[in-house]
Amino acid sequence: MTAPDPLSPDVTLLTAGAPVETARAAVILLHGRGASALDILALTPRLDSDRATQKVAFLAPQAPGRAWYPRHFLAPLDENEPALSTALATVGALIARIEVSGIPAARIALLGFSQGACLALEYAARHARRYGGVIALAGGLIGPPGTLFRYPGMLAGTPVFIGCGDSDPHIPLARVNESAAALAELGAQVDRRIYPGLGHTLVQDEIDAARAILHALIDA
């Protein structure tokens, strides 16, 4: 079977861990605005373990211009087009490539920070099925205030972790709660954790939660 390769030539892909052809599971890592694939790939030593090194493929695409879309994730959707659609297509292309290599969607996880977290959640909601996991570190579903988050399909028990600080200047707590509720309605098993006093950064508890999802993928 030959894989289609719709990844844009503008997208650089960095990898770590096991080769996707021999891996048991895969994680797509999506960086935040102004960051890079190399930055998000630097998380893998904190997510990894000796057994994961040989069993998990980590894939980190680099957004053109270091941003997946130009405006804030709460801006009107048309103000983030066509970049948002291109970014979503990039995620879909990577998932298709991984599946052709023999790893099913149920053992593929999406992990993102900030803008990458928003992209991960939005992709999973718009293309709902059973994934290995969705890990959103400081993010929420994309759309302006008042958006009705209604999507076709079901996430069918997909574990979804959403972690965010209650003092994050970029991610309103209301949107985190709306996102968690919308994904739960799609049938996800949602773990929402709000960290008092935390700004736009990560804490070890989030890494531990992500590692638990990763290890479940290996054992699936």
**Domain harbouring 47, CATH code:** 3.40.50.1820
Q: What DSSP character marks residue 83?
A: H
Residue 5 resides in a domain: no
User: What pLDDT does residue 45 have?
Assistant: 86
User: What pLDDT does residue 1 have?
Assistant: 26
User: What pLDDT does residue 11 have?
Assistant: 77
Region at 143 (left for phi over 0; alpha for psi -120 to 50; beta for the rest): left
Residue 6 resides in a domain: no
Name which of 57, 50, 48 is nearest 13 in CA terms. Answer: 57
Kindly give the confidence (pLDDT) of every residue in the chain, 220 residues in length, as a single tens digit, with 9 standing for 90 and above.
233 344 666 678 999 999 999 999 999 999 999 999 999 999 998 887 655 557 899 999 999 999 999 999 999 999 999 999 999 999 999 999 999 999 999 999 999 999 999 999 999 999 999 999 999 999 999 999 999 999 999 999 999 999 999 999 999 999 999 999 999 999 999 999 999 999 999 999 999 999 999 988 888 6
Q: Is-contact 18 55, C-beta < 8 A?
A: yes
Q: Is-contact 112 136, C-beta < 8 A?
A: yes
User: What pLDDT does residue 46 have?
Assistant: 86
What is the secondary structure of 111-178 as a DSSP string?
EEETHHHHHHHHHHHHTBS--SEEEEES----S-TT-----SB--TT-EEEEEEETT-SSS-HHHHHH
The domain containing residue 62 runs over which residues? 12-219
Spatial separation of the C-alpha atoms in residues 3 and 209, rounded to whole Å: 32
Q: What DSSP character marks residue 65?
A: G
User: What pLDDT does residue 49 have?
Assistant: 60
Spatial separation of the C-alpha atoms in residues 122 and 120, rounded to whole Å: 6
Q: Is-contact 108 25, C-beta < 8 A?
A: yes
Residue 82 resides in a domain: yes
**Number of domains within the chain:** 1
Count other Cβ atoms within 10 Å, centred on residue 219.
10
Residue 81 resides in a domain: yes
Residue 211 resides in a domain: yes
Name which of 100, 101, 122, 102 is nearest 110 in CA terms. Answer: 122
Residue 7 resides in a domain: no
User: What pLDDT does residue 95 have?
Assistant: 98
Residue 156 resides in a domain: yes
Distances (CA, A) of 90 to 7, 10, 28, 84: 6, 10, 11, 10
Residue for token digits 């069993």? 55
Residue for token digits 């400081």? 138
Residue 193 resides in a domain: yes
Spatial separation of the C-alpha atoms in residues 138 and 62, rounded to whole Å: 19
